[in-house]
Amino acid sequence: MQLNKLAATLAALGTVVPGLAMATNGMLMEGYGPIAAGMGGASMAYDNGTAAMANNPATLAMMAEGSRLDVMVGFVGPDVATPGVGKSSADAFYMPAIGYVKKQDKLTWGAGIYGQGGMGTEYAGGDMAQVGVGRVIFPLAYAVNDRFNIGGSVDVVWAGMDMVVTNFGIDFKDDSDFSGAAKGYSVAAKLGFTYKLSGALTVGGVYQTAGNLPDLKGDGYRVEGFDMPAIVGLGVSWQANDRLMVAADVKDVLWGDSMNTVTIHYPGGAGTAPFTQNWDDQIAVSLGLSYKFTDAFTGRVGYNHGKNPIPDQHVSYLWPAIVEDHYTVGFGYAIGSQSEFNFALSYVPEVSVTGTNVVTPPFGNGGVTTEHSQLNWQLMYSYTF
């Protein structure tokens, strides 16, 4: 009964708390939950709390018997500037998240809300574009035996988009920090596993389907061709001793199947505006280690790299998801036997890309340089019972 009530509450909240965000591996976050984020996003093969439902649900089977509630807030701080256009004022995005799981014998189940990612900018001249994607997630994990766990989830996906492009006469946006004027909803899924090769070494992997988003609709506009990618991930964790753990993941993010041409359909059938994307698939690598200094305090460091998936001829000052390197630190601090705080900080150094399209502004990006850096953090409170 408690789980049913929580699931219903999460589903209701999910319709009003999408959390528009600027993400970092393309449109994806470098890490989900501060435990994984502090380790560069590595999360496939060890217990990282309820954020596992956004990473690899099979790791939920690694948690201790009982229930766990995680309440989190994330901050993404992009610094984007395009000479000739200006500096983006969209420099602070907050993303609330919550997750609940219960483990009983071999079975673990729960529900949660996590922002998946997005991108956005806003300029003094009036041009802006913001898109956010989130999920209400219902995971289930099963411990087959002492070595092998399987897990999956059914995800209710939502997306919201605002866009104003003065040269194209596009103007749809709402006044909310947590939604967009054009919206769409769908269902996706994940399937994962972990396998303990030895007492110290564990491997894990996950497949996440594409977002399967329909056309986004609002204010008379229709946005065709926007979706989130399918992901294949594989990782390993090594418990070197009682204090030190090392983890590494590799993900293949299949942007090539999801971000091709995003077409804006004007109200009343007044025409279309196609925005060619043609993103490349992206390999994202995460490396991290954690060290337990005391029974209460754990420190973490990590690194994440994902090559910019946007071809130079298609990069836009509106959607500059071009950053590549992420340097992360974090910590966990336990208060007694039931409460814990976890925090992660991610520094993303500046990159710049100059458009190579043969067409120059306002209808192309030829010669336009966009610069982008970030400083992000995540904070989570956990209660086990």
Q: What is the pLDDT of residues 25-37, one digit of tens each?
A: 999 999 999 999 9
**pLDDT, tens only, 212-243:** 999 999 999 999 999 999 999 999 999 999 99
pLDDT in tens, 94-110: 999 999 999 999 999 99
Q: What letter represents residue 301's amino acid?
A: V
Least confident of 6-20, 92-106, 157-171, 292-306: 6-20
Q: Which two tokens stand for residue 301?
A: 């460091």
Percentage of the chain beyond pLDDT 70 is 94
**pLDDT tens digits along 277-286:** 999 999 999 9
Give the pLDDT band (50/70/90) at residue 176. Answer: confident
Kindly list the distances between the CA atom of residue 93 and the CA atoms of 14, 23, 153, 172, 203, in Å, as whole numbers in the listed order: 17, 10, 27, 20, 34
Residue 2, classified by CB atoms within 10 Å of its CB into exposed (0-12), middle (13-18) or buried (19+), is exposed
How is the chain split among helix, strand and coil, in percent rounded to 5?
10, 55, 35
Per-residue confidence (pLDDT) for residue 363, from 0 to 100: 82
pLDDT band for position 5 (cuts 50, 70, 90): very low
**How far is it between the farthest Cα atoms of the chain?**
65
The band of 118, judged by pLDDT with boundaries at 50, 70 and 90, is confident
The arithmetic mean of pLDDT across residues 185-199, rounded, is 98
Give the global pTM: 0.92
Give the dihedral of Cα atoms 44, 324, 133, 331; nearest 10 deg: 50
Cα angle at 181 between 177 and 183, to 5 degrees? 105
Q: How confident is the model at residue 17 (pLDDT cuts 50, 70, 90)?
A: very low
pLDDT value at residue 241 = 97
Query: Nearest 5°: phi and psi at 51?
Result: -60, -15
Query: At residue 12, does pLDDT exceed 60?
Result: no
pLDDT tens sequence across 289-325: 999 999 999 999 999 999 999 999 999 999 999 999 9
pLDDT at 82 over 80: yes
Question: Average model confidence (pLDDT) for the chain?
Answer: 93
Cα(350)–Cα(157) distance, rounded to whole angstroms?
31
Nearest Cα neighbor of 153 from 137, 169, 164 is 137
**pLDDT of 361 above 70:** yes
